[in-house]
Amino acid sequence: KDGDGQITTKELGTVMRSLGQNPSESELQDMINEVDADNNGTIDFP
């Protein structure tokens, strides 16, 4: 959303809620952890 090339749990939560979902913080973190290649807590897009 802010153009920094990363998706945080906050940003992912915003997208999920806009799609009618209501994930918990733990669920959001689990989703990010599944694809977080460098374990920095975000999804990175170089």
Residue 24 lies inside a defined structural domain of this protein: yes
Task: Give me the pLDDT at residue 46, please.
Answer: 81
At 4-40, the pLDDT tens digits run 999 999 999 999 999 999 999 999 999 999 999 999 9
pLDDT of residue 2: 83
AA letter at 8: T
Residue 44 within any structural domain of the chain? no
Q: Has residue 28 been placed in a domain?
A: yes
- Predicted TM-score (pTM) above 0.95: no
In a domain, residue 45? The reply is: no
Query: Which burial class, exposed, middle or buried, applies to 8 when counting CB atoms under 10 A from its CB (0-12, 13-18, 19+)?
Result: middle
Domain span including residue 32: 6-37
Is the residue at 25 inside a domain?
Answer: yes
Count of structural domains within the chain: 1
pLDDT at 36: 95
Q: The domain that contains 21 carries what CATH number?
A: 1.10.238.10
Residue 43 lies in a domain: no
CA distance 13 to 21: 9
